[in-house]
Amino acid sequence: MKYMLLIHGNSKGWEDLDDWSQEDLQAMVRFMHGINADLSDSGELLDAQGLAGPEYAKTVRASQDGEPIITDGPFSETKEVLAGFWLLEVSSEQRALEIATRISATPGPGGILINQPVEVHPIGEPPAV
């Protein structure tokens, strides 16, 4: 079963990283690398990426004549943006939820858990054509 796990952030969260100590940043990165290494070793990790901050994101829509309409950021009216993802192949939904719980326990400043929400999406098969 394939699942995509998503974490979100906001522009303030990216700005707040400037206030983290180097030690706290390194602890967070080590924690994430540890999760990824464990998932890679178990054969469950298909891909995982942290995304650049919202100031680098663009949204593209096609106009009625097919020309691109490009705006900065994902949505002008929202503060939450996609911050990273894991693409997994696991044995069950329960296993995907276990991994999401571990990701949510990422350490923040002073080692206090961030407890950020992690969205868990099963990846469906497209209908036969």
What is the predicted pLDDT for the residue at 78? 61
E strand residue ranges, the chain = 2-10, 45-50, 58-62, 68-72, 80-89, 118-122
Q: How far is the C-alpha of 67 from the C-alpha of 42, rounded, in Å?
A: 45
Residues near 74 by beta carbon (within 8 Å), at least 6 away in sequence? 54, 57, 59, 81, 82
Cα–Cα dist 26/115, whole Å = 18
Spatial neighbors of 88 by CB under 8 A, at least 6 apart, are: 2, 3, 4, 5, 39, 44, 45, 46, 96, 99
Query: Which comes out higher in pLDDT, residue 86 or 57?
Result: 86
From 22-31, 32-41, 92-101, the region with the lowest mean pLDDT: 22-31
Q: What is the dihedral of CA 31, 21, 108, 46, to 10 degrees?
A: -30
Q: What is the pTM of this model?
A: 0.85
pLDDT tens figures, 34-76: 999 999 999 999 999 998 888 888 889 999 999 999 988 765 5
- Assess contact for 113 and 102: CB atoms under 8 A: no
Answer with the residue of higher pLDDT: 3 or 52: 3
Reported as a pLDDT band with limits 50, 70 and 90, residue 13 is: low
Q: Which CATH architecture has domain 2-122?
A: 2-Layer Sandwich (3.30)
Tokens of 57: 């994101």
